[in-house]
């Protein structure tokens, strides 16, 4: 898709979120580094993101301003982007006396254009340490904060700057601001998943031809949508399912049955004993992850053998992280990639990533358009290392059994009481400490189980779910009465941060 809304990333923590918000409004947007501005093509509009640096620094990120002007499209600078544009137009920016972070009030000076439809006073979210100290001649102030300080500017027709972040939910009418800006673009590119799907299928048919396509599947959303999309494109797809024995109760059989329901036969490689042998006696968390990841990759490539084409379920956030975060990003999904082998295939043009322009919610929308059942698309995220993440310390058959049984009881109760789809992720984890209890007429020294249920938008933050006491009580009783080796059940009420959650 050639025409797009170009979001220029100056390193701001909300840069991805700007792209998401634009797409939620129905427009196609992509993220670019400032140095790649000339590769954007002919965008319908340009948004300059915020960033952690000061525009006054000697090595501060810059933009090719003459080229930006030559595009002759609407431009919106957010926070750092606003300050940079003010400098480029001949103004000045100075350090604040103290960093401004948190809520403020926007009071529009005019109720049309960028601020059409906004309230007389609207909450906005600030995060900056510099401020505009001198306005270029001809600059219009479009909005002020509660202290009368300019927080929204227009330097010329179609060129705007705002000191606040409209992309975060804390800016209560920020979405309307973005919508007003995008409405100024000439023929802005619409983003509709059905047409996007049709374009992808046509492209895949042309690129794949009669070659076999190998892909790894786990039963998760990304790999499921990937395999079904390839099948819909008429590809000779060979899905490989590495069953490492660290799955939830009956999950391996369910994955096979789910794909069969979609008309896809998957190749299940049962290597449970190999993984348990590799993990025997290991209790250090990162070493466990490394061993699982290395063996997973080895088994996949042993099974794949001669690869004509490899399909990966890479999503847009992964692409962004790889492009903007350097080597750190490559460690995020080490259990999915063997870099040298992938690079070799990429150089030969034999790696395809059909989902690489989509966010997770868009992948689910794509899956729905492919008639994938709801229960497959909204399965709770499950980490690649599987139950090893939920069993601190050494992995043993008995510990895996305890977690599987407790987790199955918890998830079944969430489904039964209508809570499963209201929770982003829920699971049971082992607390590998013997606690004193009483079973029958005797003392018991057995493990404790921790239950966790969270809500989250993007996995960057999460809050615990206030499940009904009746549901928690029923779950606790069922676990204590039917799972040997457990005599205590806790409910985890930690937020992220400072605690964590599991990722796929």
The residues carrying an active-site annotation are 79, 165, 167
Q: What share of the chain is helix, strand, coil (3-state, %, to 5)?
A: 40, 25, 40
Nearest to 4 by CA among 35, 41, 38, 34: 41
Which of helix, strand or coil describes residue 96? strand
CB–CB of 443/401 below 8 Å?
A: no
Q: Please tell me the distance from the alpha carbon of residue 352 to that of residue 310, in angstroms, as a whole number.
A: 6
Question: 172 is written with which tokens?
Answer: 């209560």
Place of tokens 């350090």: 95
Helix ranges restricted to H, 354-490: 360-369, 374-377, 397-416, 469-482
Which of helix, strand or coil describes residue 364? helix
Helix ranges restricted to H, 110-220: 174-182, 193-208
Q: Please tell me the distance from the alpha carbon of residue 498 to that of residue 285, in angstroms, as a whole number.
A: 18
Q: Please tell me the distance from the alpha carbon of residue 325 to that of residue 336, in angstroms, as a whole number.
A: 18
Nearest to 269 by CA among 238, 292, 303: 303
E strand or H helix at 344: helix 339-347
Q: Please tell me the distance from the alpha carbon of residue 50 to that of residue 128, in angstroms, as a whole number.
A: 9
Phi-psi region at 380: left, alpha or beta (left = phi > 0; alpha = psi -120 to 50):
beta
Contact residues for 359 (Cβ-Cβ < 8 A; gap 6+):
19, 20, 23, 315, 316, 317
The C-alpha torsion from 190 through 366 and 226 to 3, rounded to 10°, is: 0
Radius of gyration of the chain (CA): 26
């Amino acid at each position: 898709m050639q025409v797009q809304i170009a979001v220029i990333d100056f390193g701001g923590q909300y840069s991805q979120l700007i792209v998401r918000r634009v797409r939620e409004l129905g427009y196609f947007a992509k993220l670019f580094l400032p140095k790649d501005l000339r590769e954007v093509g002919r965008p319908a509009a340009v948004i300059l993101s915020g960033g952690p640096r000061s525009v006054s620094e000697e090595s501060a990120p810059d933009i090719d301003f003459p080229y930006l002007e030559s595009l002759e499209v609407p431009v919106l600078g957010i926070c750092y982007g606003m300050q940079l544009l003010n400098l480029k137009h001949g103004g000045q920016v100075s350090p604040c006396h103290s960093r401004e972070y948190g809520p403020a009030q926007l009071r529009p000076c005019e109720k049309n254009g960028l601020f059409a439809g906004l309230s007389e006073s609207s909450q906005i979210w600030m995060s900056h340490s510099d401020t505009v100290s001198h306005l270029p001649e001809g600059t219009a102030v479009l909005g002020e904060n509660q202290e009368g300080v300019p927080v929204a500017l227009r330097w010329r027709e179609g060129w705007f700057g705002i000191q606040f972040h409209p992309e975060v939910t804390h800016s209560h009418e920020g979405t309307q601001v973005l919508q007003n800006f995008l409405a100024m673009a000439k023929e802005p590119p619409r983003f509709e998943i059905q047409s996007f799907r049709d374009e992808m299928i046509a492209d895949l048919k042309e690129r794949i031809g009669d070659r076999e396509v190998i892909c790894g599947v786990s039963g998760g959303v990304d790999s499921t949508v990937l395999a079904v999309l390839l099948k819909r494109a008429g590809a000779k797809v060979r899905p490989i399912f590495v069953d490492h024995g660290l799955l939830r109760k009956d999950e391996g059989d369910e994955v096979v049955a789910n794909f069969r329901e979609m008309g896809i036969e998957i190749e299940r490689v049962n290597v449970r004993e190999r993984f348990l042998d590799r993990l025997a006696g290991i209790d250090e968390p990162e070493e466990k992850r490394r061993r699982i990841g290395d063996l997973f990759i080895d088994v996949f490539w042993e099974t794949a053998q001669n690869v004509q084409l490899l399909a990966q379920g890479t999503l847009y956030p992964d692409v962004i992280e790889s492009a903007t975060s350097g080597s750190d990003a490559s460690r995020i999904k080490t259990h999915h990639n063997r870099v040298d082998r992938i690079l070799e295939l990429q150089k030969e043009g034999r790696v395809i990533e059909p989902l690489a322009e989509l966010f997770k919610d868009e992948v689910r929308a794509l899956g729905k358009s492919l008639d994938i059942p709801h229960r497959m698309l909204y399965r709770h995220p499950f980490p690649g290392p599987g139950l090893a993440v939920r069993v601190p310390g050494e992995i043993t058959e008995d510990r895996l059994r305890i977690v599987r049984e407790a987790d199955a009881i918890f998830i079944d109760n969430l489904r039964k009481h209508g809570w499963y789809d209201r929770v982003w992720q829920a699971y049971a984890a082992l607390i590998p400490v013997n606690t004193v209890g009483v079973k029958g007429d005797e003392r018991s020294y057995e493990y404790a189980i921790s239950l966790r249920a969270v809500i989250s938008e993007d996995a960057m933050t999460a809050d615990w779910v206030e499940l009904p006491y009746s549901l928690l009580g029923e779950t606790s009783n069922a676990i204590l009465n039917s799972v040997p080796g457990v005599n205590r059940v806790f409910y985890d009420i930690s937020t992220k941060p400072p605690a964590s959650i599991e990722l796929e």
